């Protein structure tokens, strides 16, 4: 229950600050106990956001070598969330390349926004990275009021991989991992070109 309440509080604070974030519809408390750094009541948190699809969703099909499913997923995401990438172009590879470039830019802008407000996600693995550039999975996140680059939010992050100051680099790392997952659909040159947009998008947002 404590972790769910924490995620609710963090998401509301991000929303007030104008940072794209999942919102919490409700928290349902159960009667059983669960161990989370101590025993607490089990609970269910219901999140609301446009889509829960993550970078890791694409990785799943890549590692299964299921290119057909990867293409179906990518087509679905473009059709529902990135329709402007379709345009009048009949070349799927170009559509996919534009989609990936947009994801890179959205990711850079989201993390730049995090850095502006002192938000520390805590566990920035690819399965916690939204394809839409929205903050999600906030159970271990918090804020560093003094913008300490070495601040670590997660107790399990013993080496500081996801420290506040590391978040921009991890965001780019995650985009590179997504590029690998999309490599069956997008030419290497287009993937590399899209990735070069990360740093300018980050800097433009953070210093605008």
Q: Determine what percent of the chain falls in helix, strand and coil, rounding each to the nearest 5.
A: 50, 15, 35
Q: Which residues are tagged catalytic?
A: 127
Distance CA 111, CA 133 (A): 9
Q: Which residues contact 69 (CB under 8 A, 6 or more apart)?
A: 61
DSSP, collapsed to helix, strand or coil, labels residue 119 as strand
- Nearest Cα neighbor of 3 from 179, 133, 123, 149 is 123
How many whole angstroms separate alpha carbon 58 and alpha carbon 31? 36
């Amino acid at each position: 229950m404590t972790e769910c309440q924490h995620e609710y509080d963090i998401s509301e604070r991000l929303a007030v600050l104008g940072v794209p974030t999942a919102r919490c519809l409700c928290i349902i408390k159960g009667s059983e106990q669960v161990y989370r750094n101590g025993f607490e009541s089990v609970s269910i948190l219901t999140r609301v956001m446009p889509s829960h699809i993550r970078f890791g969703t694409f990785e799943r099909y890549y590692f299964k070598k299921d290119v057909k499913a990867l293409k179906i997923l990518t087509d679905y995401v473009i059709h529902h969330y990135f329709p402007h990438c379709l345009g009048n172009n009949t070349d799927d590879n170009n559509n996919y390349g534009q989609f990936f470039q947009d994801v890179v830019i959205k990711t850079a802008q989201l993390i730049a926004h995090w850095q502006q407000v002192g938000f520390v996600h805590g566990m920035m693995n690819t399965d916690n990275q939204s394809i839409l550039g929205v903050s999600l999975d906030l159970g271990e996140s918090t804020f560093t009021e003094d913008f300490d680059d070495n601040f670590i939010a997660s107790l399990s992050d013993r080496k500081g991989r996801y420290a506040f100051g590391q978040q921009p680099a991890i965001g780019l790392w995650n985009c590179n991992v997504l590029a690998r997952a999309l490599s069956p659909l997008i030419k290497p040159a287009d993937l590399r070109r899209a990735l070069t947009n990360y740093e300018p998008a980050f800097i433009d947002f953070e210093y605008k």
